[in-house]
A = this chain, B = another copy of it.
Amino acid sequence: MNRQITLAARPVGYPKESDFNLVEVPIPTPQDGEVLVKTIYLSVDPYMRGRINAAKSYAANVEIDEVMVGSVIAEVIETKHPGFAVGDIVNAGIGWQEYGVVGGNGLRKIDPTIAPISANGGILGMPGLTAYFGLLKVGKLQDGETVFVSGAAGAVGSVVGQIAKIKGCRVVGSAGSDEKVSYIVDELGFDAAFNYKKVDDYYAELEKHFPDGIDVYFDNVGGRITDAVFPNLRVKGRVAICGQISQYNLEQPEVGPRFLWFMITKQARIEGFLVSEFSDQHTEALVEMAGWLRAGKLKYRETIEEGGIEKAPAAFISMLKGGNIGKQLVKIADIN
């Protein structure tokens, strides 16, 4: 049988495990041009929170009793597609389930010789690409600039800071625990970081780290930390809006200080983006990222929940609350 996680109820505030159901259905059969894959790692990501709201986001929402949306690292176990062989490792958007049938267009082959295959859910996958394009194409980072990244110990933020260091920039990050702060400074080489739970005046904290201002802010978090960035931007500063995780689980929307006046005085730019906008350049970017990884210029950690598909909701909720360092994955099965 194929076990799946479906949406039981639209969460109010933080999702609860009871907002999800574990159901069993027969393993599907591939038709011509399709393959059957078995999930090895399931990815849980912040964007999924937006997909289970009632309000439409940038993509279709998950309906009640539908399988949770998401992407997995999987093994081809039966093939009716000439481009894929049994044993191939692929990235597939089949959602939170143990098995899925996919056409060739829905699959991206993974080279398991570059890094452990789990890396394709993180630094060599969507989060790594998000960091790359958000910083370099949206933020238009120039060598030697100053960079601030919120959510800096997460799957995206940890890569943002390392790419900025590769580009010779000064990088400061914020994260939600002392352990995360030491990780990004001591292991990843950020110039500085702070634990936002221990700082009250974010404006003063940023002013201390950036006495001459911030050139590029990569925002994963939103809320009060982001508020404090605008007055600290340099003239012609850029703000790449990747995520707003501090806002996703609020029962009532927040208000905050108005900051658009700073956009004029700083002649600054804010731009929101999706990694999918850059899909025609993903392949070249992954080649460059893999090169940096091999050269030891990029490091990564993963937080892997080992308990199988039934643990996906708990891992998702933990990630939303900041329980992860680096990419949060759920191990579903071993490779055959």
Question: Residue A270 contacts which of B253, B258, B269 (CB distance < 8 angstroms)?
Answer: B269
Question: Residue A244 contacts which of B222, B247, B261 (CB distance < 8 angstroms)?
Answer: B261
Q: How near does chain B come to A269, taking the closest CB pair, in angstroms?
A: 5
Report copies per complex.
2
**A258 contacts B58, C-beta separation under 8 Å:** no
Question: Residue A267 contacts which of B58, B235, B258 (CB distance < 8 angstroms)?
Answer: B58
Taking A254-B258, A255-B257, A258-B222 as contacts, is the C-beta distance between A243 and B272 under 8 angstroms?
no
Closest to A238 in B: B271
Residue A160 at the chain B interface, CB threshold 8 Å: no
Contact with B along A192-209 (1 / 0, CB 8 A): 000000000000000000
Closest to A233 in B: B272
Chain B residue contacts of A241, Cβ below 8 A:
260, 263-264
Chain B residue contacts of A118, Cβ below 8 A:
none
Count A-side interface residues using an 8 Å CB cutoff: 35
Contact with B along A228-267 (1 / 0, CB 8 A): 0000000100000111100100000111111011111111
**B223 contacts A258, C-beta separation under 8 Å:** yes
**B264 contacts A258, C-beta separation under 8 Å:** no
Residue A333 at the chain B interface, CB threshold 8 Å: no
Chain B residue contacts of A242, Cβ below 8 A:
264
Closest to A265 in B: B58
Question: Residue A268 contacts which of B57, B255, B264, B272 (CB distance < 8 angstroms)?
Answer: B272
Contact with B along A263-297 (1 / 0, CB 8 A): 11111111111100100000000000000000000
Closest to A227 in B: B258
Closest to A261 in B: B244
List A residues 297-336 near B (Cβ within 8 Å). Answer: none
Residue A219 at the chain B interface, CB threshold 8 Å: yes
Q: What would 12 more interface pairs be, CB under 8 Å, given A58-B265, A223-B258, A247-B261?
A: A50-B261, A58-B264, A219-B260, A226-B260, A243-B264, A253-B257, A263-B271, A267-B271, A267-B273, A268-B271, A269-B270, A270-B271
Q: Which 4 A-B pairs have the closest CB atoms?
A: A263-B272, A264-B272, A270-B270, A255-B255
